[in-house]
Structure 1
Amino acid sequence: MSGSALRAVIKGTGSALPQRRVSNAELAAQVDTSDEWITERTGIKFRHIAGPDETTATLGAEAARNALNAAGMTEADIDLIIVATCTPDQTFPAAATKVQHILGHHGGVAFDVAAVCSGFLYGFSVAESMIRAGSAKNALVIGAETMTRLLDWEDRGTCVLFGDGAGAVVLSGEVGERGVLATQLHADGRHNELLYVDGGPSTTGTVGKLRMQGREVFRHAVTNLASVMHEVLEQAELVPADIDWVVPHQANARIIDATVKKLGLPAERVILTVAEHANTSAASVPLALDVAVRDGRINAGDVVVLEAMGGGFTWGASVVRM
């Protein structure tokens, strides 16, 4: 793609976390686990848990406002809102329409994308395509989750892994060198039973609880993420040495470490927030991106790879010049 092509450029980032921050030690007082057990296997030390008045939509709207402020824009500038989530406030309408209403905006397009932990990248790709096609000018892409609502607190293999939160980016169409350079997305529905929720409107009529076969998910994640990162770099005509930063899905520090080693990247180029936030599903990539932008690590012109894998399985990666 030439430098004169229209690209979707990240103009601002934002995030939001519930007020309640829970340590491993606090969790161990309620669940048969320990700080050592959780830290050794996952790298997680804390997670945020949404209170009764905090929902996917309220967290998403807060992250969106922060992204708009960073971009120097208002809700009136936005003509597309995409919320990536597997934990919407209601079965319908879409969380995106609730976010739109909270922001005080009553026009444009608003819808949800459901691809679990890969949801932000799926939504990001849809927004980027709509911007390049001319059907949107400025988009809010939000990953927002209240994953703790889905947890079985008697299953120590899953309940220690997840947290709640939201992250958002403002994407705008610009001609130049900055913006999304390449994206690769995949799905393989054969692996449903490895990571899923055992409920739904058309089956049990209930929300259900999260179920996971951790070892199998780990194995697939390392293989699939390393592969898709090679694919997206090839599409962008780049090599690993061209990458300034990798912003991975924050599921497990061991998965992230194994993935970047397969790519031959040094650990100091990887943004890690899993210790503070745990796995926030679709929120984790934009949340980690916002942390690294605001603390000054990621700057304009940097080449950044975003990557994630989630239930489905779904997985993908995107290369962006900030």
Structure 2
Amino acid sequence: MTQHTMMTGRPVISATGLFTPAESITNEELVASFNEFVRRHNAANAEAIAAGDMEPLQESSVEFIEKASGIKARHVIAKEPVLDPDTMAPRWRERGNDELSQMAEIGVAAARQSLERAGRDAGDVDAVLCAASNMERPYPAMAIEIQQALGIDGFGFDMNVACSSATFGIQTAADYIRAGNAKSVLVVSPEITSGHLNWRDRDSHFIFGDVATAVLVEDASIAPAGHWDILGTKLKTVFSNNIRNNFGFLNRASPEGQGGADKLFVQEGRKVFKEVVPMVAEMIVSEAARLGIDPERLRRLWLHQANAGMNRLIAQRVLGHEATADESPTVLDTYGNTSSAGSIIAFHLHSDDLKAGDTGLICSFGAGYSAGAVFVRKAA
């Protein structure tokens, strides 16, 4: 069947996949590393600090991290260099052009698990969307490399909407199926967020972790039993500088160098909290009304895993009461913020127990600002 002769379809989520790096960093380990860096920095600049020409760096603590975020640990691909006070960044051997790249490798692992869970062969897939916050390179597209590694005869492209990349990818895949341009689309989100985190910044050094997820979006006519009907999707963007990363091929200053801090993740956390919570809650409630869904009757919310406080307030505004762990599960405590993958991890790990007819919401929000909502219902 060729793409231009396909009939229009009804999109569903057939399965998801998850790759979790073997190594994890606890808050205790992270704080020990960070505080050693602080002590070395302050000792090396003791004269300037004493003269009032430089402010001393402040140490971090486990209590500060958990109060600020709810995070207790995070998985990373390269633990040792991140914890080394002389490096404090991920490092691994640069792979040759004839080798599978690091980002594609973890994306392929998640994709294969989603295909296996759906009982699907890679040859049945029409397209691959690599939806993630930061790509390993500009081109060739990571999606095309993942497509090649999986043996998919179709097309692929990359898309970046920061922490909302996966939900934006799901709507894009669903639109392909509705339009009849594909019957099976993989949305792969390999998030190596440790690479764009400033591990020397006390206010953010604890936030991110590495992971990869995959979502198989297909036409209902070929989907396995127990799939998730996509009832509707809603995307929203509002420009803001409150979460920003200025790294790029036109401006590649070293993070360790003068003026390099903004080439990594930076944010005005309090402003983000104040502005994003009402924006996302209003988007969810208004879209639920358009779809004829009572938001207070949503069985489960799989929210973006960035901050426990934000999720608590958003869930309360949507459900009309303080959400239980069953209604709004968290993976933030053990995975940290994994950017676009966070809500998909929560869905992957906390959805099997729902019954046919149960309705839920996958929702992400982040830099841009960007926000994406995917309303789903468990099929029989």
Is the shorter-chain TM-score for this pair beyond 0.5, marking a shared fold?
yes
- For 1:280-299, what per-residue CA distance to the aligned partner results, in whole angstroms no more than 9, with x for missing partners? 00111212211113xx3345
Look at both structures and tell me which one has the larger radius of gyration over its CA atoms.
2
**Partner Cα separation in structure 1 for residue 308 and residue 62 of structure 2:** 15
Aligned residues: 313
Q: Tell me the distance in 2 between the aligned counterparts of 1:39 and 1:299.
A: 34
Q: Which of 164, 170, 190 does residue 210 from structure 2 map onto? A: 164
Q: How do 1:27-38 residues align onto structure 2 when only pairs under 5 Å count?
A: 27-31=30-34, 32-38=59-65
Q: 1:216 aligns with which of 271, 274, 283?
A: 271
Partner of 2:11: 8
> Could you tell me the percent identity over the aligned residues?
29
TM-score (norm 2): 0.78
In structure 2, the residue matched to 1:116 is 162
Summarize the Cα distance change of 1:298–1:142 in structure 2 as closer, same or farther, 3 Å threshold: farther
Match of 1:282, SS state, is: helix
Change (3 A) 1:47 1:237: same
Partner residue of 1:260?
A: 315
User: What residue in structure 2 maps to residue 302 of structure 1?
Assistant: 358
Match 1:150 to one of 171, 196, 203: 196
1:198 aligned partner, one-letter code: N
Q: Where does residue 44 of structure 1 map in the other structure?
A: 71
Structure 1 or 2: larger strand share? 1
Post-superposition offset of 1:205: 7.2
**2:106 pairs with 59, 66, 69, which one?**
59
| Letter of the 1:71 counterpart | A
- Relative contact order: is structure 1 or structure 2 higher (C-alpha 8 Å, sep ≥ 6)? 1
Give ranges in structure 1 of 5+ residues lacking alignment.
Answer: none
1:70 maps to what in 2?
117
Equivalent residue in structure 1 for 2:350, among 274, 292, 303: 292
- What secondary structure does 1:250 align onto? coil
Describe how 1:102-113 pairs up with structure 2 within 5 A: 102-105=149-152, 107-113=153-159
* 1:187 alignment partner in structure 2: 237
Partners of 1:235 and 1:203 in 2: CA distance: 43
Which structure 2 residue ranges, 5 or more long, are not aligned? Answer: 1-7, 35-58, 79-91, 94-100, 256-262
Q: CA RMSD in A?
A: 2.0
CA drift of 1:178 comes to: 5.3
- CA offset at residue 155 of structure 1? 0.5
Displacement of 1:108 in angstroms is: 0.6
Gap change, CA 1:300 and 1:100, over 3 Å in 2: farther
Instruction: Provide, for residues 183-208 of structure 1, a one-character-per-residue CA deviation record: whole Å limited to 9, x for no partner.
Output: 1111112x1x2111122123447792
- What SS does structure 1 have at the residue aligned with 2:113? helix
Aligned-residue offset at 1:242 = 2.8
Which residue of structure 1 aligns with residue 337 of structure 2? 279
Q: Could you tell me how far apart the structure 2 residues matched to 1:298 and 1:25 are?
A: 35
Aligned-partner residue type, residue 44 of structure 1: I
Q: Does 2:239 correspond to 1:173? A: no
Contact 1:166/1:284 (<8 A) preserved: no
Structure 2 CA distance, aligned partners of 1:75 and 1:254? 40
Is 1:270 aligned to residue 328 of structure 2?
yes
- Inter-partner Cα distance in structure 2 for 1:186 and 1:99: 28
Asked if 1:199 corresponds to 2:247, the answer is yes
